[in-house]
Copies of this chain bind each other. A is one copy, B any other.
Amino acid sequence: MTELKPRPTIKDIARLSETSPSTVSAVLTGNWKARRISDALASRIQTVAGEQGYSANRQARGLRRGRSDMIGLIVPMHDHRFFAAAAQSFEAEARGRGWCPIVVSTLRDPAEELRTAERLISHGVDSLVIAGASNPAALGALCRGADVSHVYLDLPGPDAPSVASDNHAGAMLLTDTLLDHAVAGHKGARSRAHFLGGNLDDWASARRIEGFCHAMARRDLPVAPDQVNTCGYAPSRARESVAALCERLGGLPSALFINSVTVFEGAMTYFATLASTEFAGTVIGIYDYDPIASFLPFPVYMVRQNAEALMARAFALIDEGVSGPVLIEIVPDLVPPRTIYAKPFLDLG
């Protein structure tokens, strides 16, 4: 049961096809026309290689050539809709170019992020796409030191091209939609729109809040401090915050901008305790996407980051060899409710 025959090397193939390693190498890597090797020899080599199940040792090749044709993607976590979608597009783009895609997550740990980048570089990746970088400055230094081209995704970096979601425009889009669809029936405190979730020191949240305020300002709607509650992303904190808010207002606000699906999940645990009639005059917006949320018995608008477009731009930048710190922003898509909430599920309220 011990098939201890080690993988064949280029030398084995050379011996078996009675030629030399360099010829084998030339034939098997395709630059064979250039060496004007006879068709006979070439096909003989290819046959032998096929029979032996030869496959090049890419560590050796990489060491020798100084490039590996590997490209890495660093994400904060796999278990997240946007990053998972980004990884998917990443693979497609990389494969289309004949590169070997490699995805690694940092478990949201800045130290791990650095270690991961360092490790991928030492394994020879030619380029790196860094999504949601928490320490872009250090990462940039690392990559530059190793002459590894890199692009930032979603969270920009200072030293290299970045392609990010246009959080400002996306937030305006969502806010405008909420305001357009908000029922004008509420009076006083409940008539105002509220923003919930995220952290002020997080670049994306900050820009989204700006967008929210900008859209409000365009309609001459003031935004009081209590209308923006950056309670983080944890469902439990979100639940507390939304409960407190509703208690303060005496009910749901006319429009609620929720900064992520985890925040929404937390809010839902509170909403589930309310009578359905409570939702009559409320429109919810989520800056995030979940396929089922659009089917809830009240209007839920979502904004979905276009991971595919972001990644396509990132690869375009790599293709063009851009290395300066440009920032490309891409407007996300609006996903309207799929329940015709004025009808079925709400024929009930």
Contacts and interface: CB of A to CB of B under 8 A. Distances in A.
Nearest to A300: B292
A28 to B, nearest CB: 12
Interface string A72-86: 000001111100110
B122 A107 contact: no
Contacts of A55: 118, 121-122
Interface stretch (A30-38, A60-68, A169-177): A60-68
Contacts of A345: 272, 276, 297
B91 A276 contact: no
Interface in A232-277: 261, 264-265, 268-269, 271-277
Given A119-B100, A272-B345, A63 B53 contact: no
A300 to B, nearest CB: 9
A66 B122 CA distance: 16
Given A104-B103, A292-B290, A59 B63 contact: yes
B84 A80 contact: yes
Interface string A130-146: 00000000000000111
B339 A272 contact: yes
B123 A70 contact: yes
A58 B119 contact: yes
Contacts of A80: 84
Contacts of A103: 78, 87, 102-105
Contact of A84 (B6, B63, B84): B84
B347 A276 contact: yes
A52 to B, nearest CB: 10
Interface in A88-129: 88, 91-92, 95, 100-105, 107, 112, 118-124
A100 B123 CA distance: 10
A296 interface: yes
Q: Which of A59, A79, A121 has the most CB of B within 10 A?
A: A59
Given A56-B122, A292-B264, A347 B275 contact: yes
Given A123-B58, A292-B264, A276 B87 contact: no
Contacts of A58: 119, 122-124
Nearest to A85: B79
Contacts of A87: 78-79, 103, 105
Nearest to A94: B104
A77 B88 contact: yes
Nearest to A141: B53
Given A3-B145, A7-B146, A276-B345, 4 more contacts: A59-B59, A79-B87, A272-B339, A272-B340
13 contacts: A57-B122, A58-B124, A62-B123, A63-B63, A78-B87, A79-B81, A79-B87, A87-B103, A92-B107, A102-B103, A271-B295, A272-B344, A296-B297
Interface of A: 3-4, 6-7, 53, 55-60, 62-63, 68, 70, 77-81, 84-85, 87-88, 91-92, 95, 100-105, 107, 112, 118-124, 144-147, 261, 264-265, 268-269, 271-277, 290-293, 295-297, 338-340, 344-349
